Structure 1
Amino acid sequence: MNPSNPLFSIIIYAIAFATAYIINLKFKFVNTSGRYENIDGLRGFLALGVFIHHANIWFKYINEGVWKEPNSNLYNQFGQTSVALFFMITSFLFVTKLLDSTNKPYNWNRFFISRIFRLAPMYYFSLFIIIAFVMITSNFKINVGIPEFIMSLFHWFVFTITTTKFINNNPLTVIINANVNWSLPFEWLFYFALPLISLLILKIKPPKFYLIISFGFVALFILVHGLELHHISSFIGGAIAPILIKYSSVKKNVNTVFYSSIIVICVALILFFKTSESIWCKLLIAIIFNIIALGNSMFGLLKSSILKFLGEICYSTYLLHGIILFTTFYFGFGMEASKQFSQIQYCLIIFSITPIVVLVSFLGYKFIEKPFMDLSKKIKI
């Protein structure tokens, strides 16, 4: 077996599901009757997909010293398609909330506070680890001027929205967490663009303050990152289902073997694409997502309590799995020793740390994410 063999991913999923099952036996905290339980289940599958994607990349990085996308279409799409679907989930959830608030005021203060408390705590926890690892691998020496060092910290403190610079001019900065932070500026772009989007939906328009902030953020983002239309299209793809749910009866007819089979066919067709940036690949991803968002449970799989458990902890999985990979191979075995591993030995190591990824993600959710989410609900605004 090698890290590009499909069996590699199947075993990782099996180990993760078994670990989640054991943890969930003792700590049940998933709402099994949620309004969007299929999407909750989908999240769990996607976060593990990103972990599998980076586990494949790490094998090449260890042996060649180059961080680049997998040669395998399957393993590249584990990462790219998963993130595209995460963007679609974000769009679906918040466009749905706007459509539900068409005739009543939308609480923008509550919205932004909830987003800050949702994304920031775990991100800053992971950032603290990244900074610590950067300094350790820099032998605790500051390699740049103090102003430049402080500015690099600032860029990361604001979710790398302004730019992604190496901390302390250390190229390991983006390896430590597998560079997963690249997607967070796009999440914030969507959130800050929402007041402008709401002009097309809400009868009671947002306060001018939020419209000005929204316009300014979007303009800054385009200036720094460009349009990145293939990512923007993911958010557009996620907004289709809420409109269909509100204004049509199509939702009543999709949880059938026929539509589940369409999803399977679309997944198979995606594997013909090297990257999800292709408009045709993105269309296939959007078809998959919208069928699921309209109520298809993929032969009942997405209703699994284990997948929903993994979906609940997926943000911690997303932010922390790269750090666990880095810790294992850089600090644990050492890069030189890791080069000596055979393909099967490497696979066995990944299998052995998969339960750790799930356990650490659970702890991150339980002790960091969930308390801050609960705290945000108590703030009177």
Structure 2
Amino acid sequence: MPRIEQKTESTDFLKSLGFPTIDVHDTFSHFDFTLPGRRVLLIGPMGSGKTEFAARVWRDAAIAQKKGDKVRSLTSSGEVDRRKVFFVRSEIDGARFSDYPEDALCFRSGYIHCGDNIARIRDSFGLEQVLADNPTVGTFIIDEASFFDERLAYVVRNHSQQRGVMFIFPTLILNFRRDLFNSTARLMLDIATDVIPLTAYCEHPDCMKDAFYTYRYYQVDGKECPALYFDPLIIVGGDEHKNSSLEPNYAARCDEHHFLPGKEYTFFHLKPLGEQASRGQEKALRDELYSLKYAMQRSMLYKNICERYVGVKDEEIYFNSLKPGNIAEKALVFLFCEQNLVPEELLLRLVSELELDTIYLSKVLADNRRPVSFGQPFLL
């Protein structure tokens, strides 16, 4: 069971100075490089400072490396020295940080240069190569570990236990649906030795509560349009704010202001339609996808939104979820990528018959590691 990191030393210190009993908050402490084999999860919503925390670790390591041999004996396991830090990022992050130097560890308020101690990898096999190429590095910061395959969790565990290497993971554990991000996130929780939870202010303009969740929304005609539950799990893009029907924005939100329409529809209607199609009964799914693309008010989705949200608080926000484009494409991606209910042959046929957006589909399917070739894209 991983421990939740809390420090009471600051409280004890202030009491020793004669301070009265008051609320004493934890201090920002220098990072401890002396403990071997730690697997530290930095969790929190987008904007909570996970990568900035990692940058602090990097700066602390630079200070610690100036210490003498006595400190080296405390921070080392054989040839491994945990004061030597290496930053690892996913290859798909290139679009997010295109305006930064190649060797940058980027966060919202800036970046630091990593020099040669940075790499982009595709999967756990890439991580193994980085570990082999850097045998004396003792601390690896792996950004957004949930983007990688499940095998990564066991690569990390073995190197930490056998060699004393420390791993730090600034990562989303929950996706925009407030579900565990994926099976990799589940395994990261299983192998973690430490969890450091971070929060942010809720980014709703009328709220100052702590935010634990990452909220996905689109900006269409100046309106906030929450992503539907079946929106593609991964959509790679830059960090800048977008006014787009197809490229989402993200914000930290509290429970009250994290809007997520379409969850009931997904499991009450969409998934059963996919199950029918997988058994050869395709007509109902085709009809629903046609309605989502060309006649929204005839769709089961529209009827479900009406049943759930007419007359409730924030009714307009929930109905705005129908404004973004390519809702039919998103529903099909969900059934193909996440539920494995629609085989590739049926996917290609539905895309052709309904003249769906192949450019969008190609990108999103590649982002979600299920690339499909559609040939010549339709000109819609």
TM-score by length of 2: 0.24
Q: Which of structures 1 and 2 has the larger relative contact order (alpha carbons within 8 angstroms, sep 6+)?
A: 1
Q: 1 or 2, which has the higher strand percentage? A: 2
TM-score, structure 1 normalization = 0.24
